[in-house]
Amino acid sequence: MPKVTDEHREQRREQILMAAMICVAEEGFHKTTMAHVIAGSGLSAGAVYGYFSSKDELILAIADRSLSYLDQAIDEVQARDPVPSPVEVTRLLTSMIVERAEAAPVDLTRVVVSAWAEAVRNEDVRHAVASRIDLLRSKLADVIIAQQSAGHIDAGADPEMVAKSLFGVMPGFVLQRLITRDVTPADYAAGYASLRRPSGD
C-alpha cells in the first residue's frame, strides 16, 4: 500500500539523516564524506543516493533539521498559558535544548554549531539557515507581543528587534555549553534576570 511505502521511505530517509548527523557531530562537515554516511547508515550506496543525490543536498537537510528542534521548542513556549516572562522563556528554551541534545543518539547542539560554521562559507547553507532563523525570530516576535500584553515587556518596544536579541541568547548558551561546559539553563536564566532593573521580571 502507498501509505506503507511512504512510511518506509521516511524511515529510511531518517536513518540516513541520523547517520549523517552523527558523522558531522564527530568530524564536522568538511571531513564527513558520503562514504562515511553510507557506512554509518548500514545501507547500500544506491539506497543512500536515492534519497540524497549529493553531499551538498545532505548538508542542507542537516542544517534545516538541526534548527528544527529549536523551532519545536519555540512552538511549545507559544502554547504556554499564561505567556511566560522573557527570563522564563530563556530558561525554558535552554532547558529544551539540553533535553533534546541528551535524548538523541547524537548531541544535536554539536550539529547546530557545525551548520552555523558551514553557513559562513556556503551560500546555499547560509540561505537555508537564514530562512529558518527568520522563521524562528518571527515566532519569538509573536511571543514577545503576548508578553507586552501581559506587561512583561515595554509595550513601546519593537517586537522584531527584541526577538533578534532574545534569539541571540540561544547560540551563546549552545557555544558555552559545548566549549566551557559550565552553564546550565537555571544559571543562564538567573544571569539573564540579573541584567534587568531591580523593579522585577
Task: Pull the grid cell for residue 105.
Answer: 543518539
What is the domain-level CATH number for residue 100? Answer: 1.10.357.10
Does some domain include residue 50? Answer: no
Does some domain include residue 133? Answer: yes
- At residue 201, the pLDDT reads 47
Boundaries of domain holding 61? 56-194
Does some domain include residue 116? Answer: yes
Condensed to tens digits (0 to 9), the pLDDT of residues 141-182 reads 999 999 999 999 999 999 999 999 999 999 999 999 999 999
Q: Which amino acid is at 188?
A: Y
Q: Is the pLDDT confidence value at 1 over 50?
A: no
Does some domain include residue 125? Answer: yes
| Residue 27 backbone class (left: φ over 0; alpha: ψ -120 to 50; beta: rest) | alpha
Task: Pull the grid cell for residue 186.
Answer: 537555571
Does some domain include residue 27? Answer: no
Does some domain include residue 115? Answer: yes
> What is the number of structural domains in the chain?
1
Q: Name the E strands within the chain.
A: none
Does some domain include residue 11? Answer: no
Q: CA gyration radius for the chain?
A: 19
Percent of the chain scoring above 90 in pLDDT:
80
Is 155 in contact with 170 (CB distance < 8 Å)? no
Does some domain include residue 124? Answer: yes
